[in-house]
Amino acid sequence: MWRHVSSLVRFSPALVPRPLGTLYEMRTYTFAPGTMPEVLSAWEAVVARRLALSPLVLAARTDTGPLNQLVHIWAYQDFDERERVRQTAREQGWPPRTSPLRQQSHILQPTAFSPLR
């Protein structure tokens, strides 16, 4: 699923074990070559509003493998919370209008031994 090397972006929290939720959504956006500086600037300008709605687990950009990708993982307690948060986020203009060429979304649940729960 995620087979490339990436670097955390400035607005990403450190990836450390912590209790965050029982449901995670990993989104991968692919952007046009050369646009990542503009994308990261647009996201950084508004991410604080989104962070008020649910925890960001990680935000990273690809350095090898498929390039021009931004991967972000958000934590939720359940599907109902995810739907409420996503609706509110859309009403607040999230995500920023950065026109990804492709978007993938994966719903994940932590295993019993996961450091993120």
| Structural domain boundaries in the chain | 6-108
Render pLDDT for 20-53 as a digit per residue (tens, 0 to 9). Answer: 999 999 999 999 999 999 999 999 999 999 999 9
Question: Rounded mean pLDDT of 56-71?
Answer: 93
Question: Rounded mean pLDDT of 71-87?
Answer: 97
Kindly report the pTM of this predicted structure. 0.91
What token pair was written down for 29?
A: 């956006």
The strands making up 56-62's β-sheet, listed across from edge to edge, are 6-8, 56-62, 69-76, 23-30, 102-108
C-alpha span between 57 and 17 (Å, rounded): 10
- Tell me the CATH architecture of domain 6-108: 2-Layer Sandwich (3.30)
C-alpha span between 14 and 67 (Å, rounded): 22
How would you classify the pairing of strands 6-8 and 56-62? Answer: antiparallel
